């Protein structure tokens, strides 16, 4: 009798199980590519559905902050190369400081929830969360800081990278 009950339980467990990879949404596994938007994802598990959603959202925002730092640092390095300010340590240090401050002050409140999905897996909820954020929002913080800095004003603003950045912001407004 014990063997029959265990066999039935085993069969039921096999029927009720699902492949975890099949449950991962394609839009989560493969983020969209865009020139104007950043996409960031987060996932979390909790026995409370809302906590699962909140944790996944926070994970996506943390991912977004990392991406923003990389993009702004990349733009800064482009300014440095094009303006030829690598040799001038005062200007270089000022630009690096502005980059760091911009990343810290970037408000990611203007993100949009791109897609989200919450699954009940056993007794736990797993949430998949993807957000989108306009890259121009971060640039809008960087440009005024550069303009306010007299050390950088002429050097960086003369670079083509800076002019391209201003054009990009104008196009997105």
Report residue 54 as tokens: 């909140």
pLDDT in tens, 133-169: 988 887 777 777 777 777 676 677 667 777 777 777 7
pTM of the model: 0.68
What is the spatial distance between Cα 139 and Cα 106, in angstroms, rounded to a whole number? 9
Q: 32 phi and psi, to 5 degrees?
A: -65, 155
Question: What pLDDT is stored for residue 1 in this prediction?
Answer: 47
CB atoms within 10 A of CB 98: 22
pLDDT in tens, 9-26: 333 333 444 455 558 999
CB atoms within 10 A of CB 162: 22
Burial class (CB in 10 A: 0-12, 13-18, 19+), 53: middle
What is the spatial distance between Cα 146 and Cα 151, in angstroms, rounded to a whole number? 9
Most confidently modeled range among 26-30, 73-77, 150-154, 167-171 = 26-30
């Amino acid at each position: 009798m014990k063997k029959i009950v265990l066999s039935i339980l085993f069969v039921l467990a096999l029927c009720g199980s699902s492949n975890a990879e099949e449950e991962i949404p394609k839009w989560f596994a493969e983020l969209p590519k865009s020139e104007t938007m950043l996409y960031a994802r987060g996932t979390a598990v909790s026995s409370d559905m809302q906590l699962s959603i909140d944790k996944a959202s926070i994970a996506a925002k943390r991912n977004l902050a990392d991406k923003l730092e990389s993009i702004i640092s990349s733009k800064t390095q482009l300014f440095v190369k094009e303006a030829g300010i690598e040799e001038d340590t005062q200007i270089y240090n000022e630009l690096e400081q502005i980059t760091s401050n911009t990343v810290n002050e970037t408000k990611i409140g203007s993100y949009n929830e791109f897609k989200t999905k919450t699954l009940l897996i056993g007794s736990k909820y797993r949430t998949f969360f993807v957000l989108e954020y306009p890259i121009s929002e971060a640039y809008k913080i960087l440009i005024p800081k550069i303009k306010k800095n007299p050390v950088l004003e002429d050097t960086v603003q003369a670079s083509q990278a800076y002019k391209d950045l201003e054009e990009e912001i104008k196009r997105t407004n």
